[in-house]
Structure 1
Amino acid sequence: MRDAEHDRNYQDDREYDDYGDDGHHEHEDRRRNGWVFLVLALLLIVGTGYGAYSFLLQDDPSSTTKANPTASGAAGAAEQSPRNAARRFLGEWQTGNWTGAGALTTDPNAAGAALVGLDDGLRVSSRRLTAGEAQPERPDGSVLVPFEARLTLKDAGEWTYTGTLTVARAPGRGYLVGWAPTALHPELTSTTRLKLMPNQGGAGGGDLHAKDGSALSPTEYPSLAALRTGLASKARPAEQAASGGTVLLVDAGTSATVRQVATVGEVQTAPPADGGVRTTLDAKLQAAAERAVGGESRTTSLAAVRIGTGEIVALANNPASGPNNAFLGTTPPGSTLKIVTAATLLTKGAVDLDDKVGCPESANAGGMRFTNSEGRAFPEGTFKLAFAQSCNTTMANLSGKLTGADLAGIAHDCFGIGGDWKTGIVSFDGRVPVATDDTMKAANMIGQGQVQMNPLTMASVVATAKSGTFRQPHLLVDQEGLWRAPRQLSPGVSSRLRTLMRSVVTEGTARDSLGGLGGDVGAKTGTAEVGGGKPNNGWMVAYRGDIAVAVWVEGGITGGRSAGPIVKSFLGAAG
């Protein structure tokens, strides 16, 4: 609907234009012309024909009737000033009368089809078009009339832009809008169209795309089946599902993106050209993850994050059709949690890397006997050596230096464990509970007891240890509501954690599996007891450069032998 001001301005133009193109006739001419108009009106009243009625209907700027003018009707509606011609065209566009708007151009069919395409491509729910002042006539007789388009785009918000109409006389038809795609938007051509890509939120499913916009097909990436039905279920509250988007200029034939034209509402950069959900996944690393777990006969899961951002770059589950253990697993992480334990001991000043703490064959804590995997023992070993060789007994002996709440506090406050993560999909965010007795405290320190983790939370632990800052893992680009840890690790603690993890590769339990990898590589292995007579699970967590990864192998016995080759395969591709 046109507003009152629009109608009033239009009527002003009609009063001016009824007396001629230049408005300079004498008073007598006006009186004579008015008398002629009165006679014509009387003829219309007695019903001189549908053609005259059609003319008046077209000429009524307040009418909202969707007229379908014939060629003669369009000719009868010829405008008597460039500005008025522009306003008439914009008025029909505003009310959604594509046929009526097209009839006011030099190519009615092309204009009408383009208006339909614009409305559909941008998912326009309402529109407001406002004409500016006409510019001086150009040498070719045409006049440029600027306009502002304010379009409300469904599921995105309001988009405002400016354009220009070229208006000129058409023989026998008065002033008409010269048709060209640029009449609708200055960047449109005959081979392109505009398309809205709403920001993702609320609803999951659909096609998945990597961060660079490339498609992640179900055939090539079978592990992503777990995401297709659940992605974005935690992305935003339901009331924020419609919150912005991106306007793209795309090829009219192939729908390939030519360029990004504008963002509407919340910014979401470079969305995929053909719809779907744009994730933080890296196609190359996702392929490497699929290969790494694909040859494993045991149930296996992998998750990897970018250390500097928290972006989830890959995940894989074997079997791919099984549960998403990479995000939803709730199992003890074994000695991989010693990264958090070491951070707690270092933060509390309870130990330093070169302190000779020993690694005996067994130790007692709270009445429970603790031993090392494969019977390792280094009686004179330093804390660094004990970490590299994954000595449970060392941690049990040091448990007396911590309170029952210390490990849980550092895990939550610095590593984000147990925080309310908004990953973009339902996930389990880890659990390191407050120890209620000495036995539980020692068990928690070696990743047993009541500690529960999964590959995603452990990959995040590695990332936090290396950088010193928790960055919440997430799957959606521009993910909102990321949980922030209350505090960071000190630079000194983070530096010593990197030294400890590096020692695991150079002289510890990951030397055989990761020693050949070049670059900045650190790791921690884990052998997690599950009870019930079942074989132990194998774990390995590691970083290389800016990528942190965690792998869990059900029944893998030891992390170095079961999870190690998978980690090496993945990080080899990431290097």
Structure 2
Amino acid sequence: MRSGAKVAIAGSVFVVVAGGVGYGGYNLWNGVMGGDASPDPRSASASSPRTGPVTGEEITTTARDFLAAWAAGESDKAAQLTNDPVTAGTAVLSYREGAKVAKAVITPGAAVGATVPFTVKATISYEGVTKDLSYASELTVVRGQTTGRPLVKWQPAVLHPKLTAGATLRTGPAKTATIKAVDHNGVELTAEKYPSLRPVLATLRERYGSKVGGSTGVETWIDSGSEAVPDTTLLVLSKGRPGTLKTTIDAGVQAAAEKAVKSYDRTSVTAIEPSTGAIRAVANNPVTEFNTALSGGQAPGSTMKIVTATMMMQHGLAKPDSRVECPPTVTWYGYLFQNLKKFKIDNGTLTDAFSQSCNTTFIKAIGPLDKKDLADTALGETARRSFGIGEEWNIGVPASNGSVPESTGTESAASYIGQGKITMSALNVASLSATAKNGRFLQPYLVAKELDDREFATAEPLSEEVASGLRTLMKAATTGNGTAAEAMAGVPSPKGAKTGSAEVGDQATSNSWFTGYSGDLAAAAIVEGGGHGGDAAGPVVARVLKAG
């Protein structure tokens, strides 16, 4: 303990006060050599470091000593009790000095295996303003590889659960002015009321805070260390004057989307206004810094048949009323593709095949031999030229452009039904429906391009025949024995939809996809591991469309 320190007991927590600055812990560190350095040769165990799993006593003692050293502001001592003392020492020192932590009281919980949970109450003090920052974290004790000593497994999240490699905790004047984000009708949007918008609002603040007026306040935040990842505000010590930023979000549709994604784990949904491209809702469950709804990159399954059907109509292969084959299976370059449960449609049309999502139709109608050049290149060209997929989308925050790369062999057949190398986000797939409904692609956007003179992606309008044909196909999917009929039953007309399921690696259950439109609102959702598109993702989309 440093000279002049005083110890007082606060419940089960020791509070160390040194030089007028306090740090809390529940025991004090006493001269233990840490890290993974070589043991003292005089030690009886020097020639045979201990092996095997860490014991309960080692877990308790190591966690106690580390937390006490950290709480006391002894960064070097805390670091030596970890398996990465160089990195840990810098991080613990930065925690105290960079975040302006005047006092930290750490309260441990009961160990669960080798993991010890704990809570932190950090008192932040900056230029006469003091506030508390409370949160929970955990640490894990492991055995040192060379010394055999029990050590804290170092990772930034030990200090704060939102800290990642390269990120640091900071307190001071905010880097950007605060914003008051509002929807297109002027309703305020907050992360508390609309949790899925938290990463969106953070990015909007960084990008546009200085463009909409307002002033900076004093905050404690996690500096991500990367321009691609927004910083995360943890505590506001003094507020700045916010500037108002108008977004395209619709508060009512956003609220419905927030509720809809809670029905399933690992779910994302996006809604777009077809006539303008305005994004009306973005929601994810769980909410993470990575916005899956906007930036995800997953195989879209049979929702891709919207693009494949467009390609077929544009190249004269079929029209909605054309007779097509839908056998149970089809072979492409020796590889067997099949329909769900090997169903077939006898003497059906392209509309029948689309509405019932017949895989073999969208492979057999193109064929790998007599139309090989078309099979290798046309789908990607159609996706880009007619739907803007693969062009650069500048929506106002990071977002995926979608990708339909050139394919060969069996990958070409797989691409027609949304598998292979194709990747899209819920935003991209929602835009497919929006384009079909509107008759032309309008790049989705979240804030007006005039704010920063962004260039919007463009595409060629669909011909009236193709646009009308797409709407016929998608309407059929919502009626009769169409795969989207049940999910879209209560959704107002005019409406259209397409279901999809996508197999992913060794995942036992396919991802559930669904996209559709109703009136002037289009949406798409993915439920990872949700199975058939109409079963899981369908109800999510339907709930959002009804809110529009």
TM range (shorter): 0.5 to 0.7
Q: Corresponding residue for 1:214?
A: 187
Per-residue deviation, residues 383-410 of structure 1 (Å, max 9, x unmatched): 1100000011111102324331111001
Output aligned runs, 1:296-375, within 5 Å: 296=264, 298-321=265-288, 323-375=290-342
The answer to whether the Cα contact below 8 Å between 2:394 and 2:457 also exists between their aligned partners in 1 is: no
Q: Which runs of 5+ in 1 are unaligned?
A: 1-201, 236-240, 248-272
Alignment-mate amino acid for residue 546 of structure 1 = D
Root-mean-square deviation (Å): 2.2
CA distance in 2, matches of 1:447, 1:346: 18
- Deviation (angstroms), 1:323: 3.0
Q: Corresponding residue for 2:440?
A: 469
Output aligned runs, 1:86-235, within 5 Å: 206-231=179-204
The answer to whether the Cα contact below 8 Å between 1:233 and 1:424 also exists between their aligned partners in 2 is: no
TM-score if structure 1 supplies the norm length? Answer: 0.56
Per-residue deviation, residues 455-490 of structure 1 (Å, max 9, x unmatched): 000111111112121111111034532423242211
Larger Rg computed on CA atoms = 1
Q: Corresponding residue for 1:187?
A: none
- Deviation (angstroms), 1:354: 1.5
Q: Corresponding residue for 1:487?
A: 460
- Deviation (angstroms), 1:234: 7.2
- Deviation (angstroms), 1:521: 0.9
The answer to whether the Cα contact below 8 Å between 2:518 and 2:545 also exists between their aligned partners in 1 is: yes
Q: Corresponding residue for 2:60?
A: none
The answer to whether the Cα contact below 8 Å between 1:419 and 1:429 also exists between their aligned partners in 2 is: yes
Alignment-mate amino acid for residue 249 of structure 2 = L
The answer to whether the Cα contact below 8 Å between 1:465 and 1:498 also exists between their aligned partners in 2 is: yes
Aligned residue pairs total 340
The answer to whether the Cα contact below 8 Å between 2:182 and 2:245 also exists between their aligned partners in 1 is: yes
Q: Corresponding residue for 1:70?
A: none
Structure number with higher strand proportion: 2
CA distance in 2, matches of 1:232, 1:414: 33
The answer to whether the Cα contact below 8 Å between 1:399 and 1:441 also exists between their aligned partners in 2 is: no
Q: Corresponding residue for 2:52?
A: none
CA distance in 2, matches of 1:389, 1:422: 35
CA distance in 1, matches of 2:196, 2:437: 27
CA distance in 1, matches of 2:416, 2:178: 39
Q: Does the C-alpha gap of structure 1 residues 486 and 560 become closer, same or farther in structure 2, counting only changes over 3 Å?
A: closer
CA distance in 2, matches of 1:377, 1:283: 44
Q: Which residue of the other structure, out of 476, 479, 492, is the alignment partner of 1:518?
A: 492
Q: Which runs of 5+ in 2 are unaligned?
A: 1-174, 215-240
CA distance in 1, matches of 2:180, 2:328: 53
- Deviation (angstroms), 1:295: 2.8
Alignment-mate amino acid for residue 527 of structure 2 = V
The answer to whether the Cα contact below 8 Å between 1:302 and 1:550 also exists between their aligned partners in 2 is: yes
Runs of 4+ residues deviating >3 angstroms: 202-207, 232-235
Alignment-mate amino acid for residue 360 of structure 2 = T
Q: Does the C-alpha gap of structure 1 residues 409 and 203 become closer, same or farther in structure 2, counting only changes over 3 Å?
A: farther
Q: Corresponding residue for 1:143?
A: none
Q: Corresponding residue for 2:251?
A: 283
Alignment-mate amino acid for residue 418 of structure 1 = G
CA distance in 2, matches of 1:566, 1:533: 22
Per-residue deviation, residues 483-502 of structure 1 (Å, max 9, x unmatched): 23242211110010000000
TM-score if structure 2 supplies the norm length? Answer: 0.59
- Deviation (angstroms), 1:515: 2.2
Alignment-mate amino acid for residue 440 of structure 2 = T
Identity in percent: 40
Q: Does the C-alpha gap of structure 1 residues 287 and 439 become closer, same or farther in structure 2, counting only changes over 3 Å?
A: same
CA distance in 1, matches of 2:361, 2:405: 21
Q: Does the C-alpha gap of structure 1 residues 481 and 365 become closer, same or farther in structure 2, counting only changes over 3 Å?
A: same
Q: Which residue of the other structure, out of 491, 499, 506, is the alignment partner of 2:479?
A: 506
CA distance in 2, matches of 1:483, 1:348: 27
Q: Does the C-alpha gap of structure 1 residues 391 and 421 become closer, same or farther in structure 2, counting only changes over 3 Å?
A: same
Q: Which residue of the other structure, out of 449, 452, 469, is the alignment partner of 1:496?
A: 469
CA distance in 1, matches of 2:178, 2:329: 51
CA distance in 1, matches of 2:382, 2:207: 26
Per-residue deviation, residues 313-344 of structure 1 (Å, max 9, x unmatched): 10100012463110111100000010000011
- Deviation (angstroms), 1:203: 6.3
Secondary structure class of the residue paired with 1:287: helix
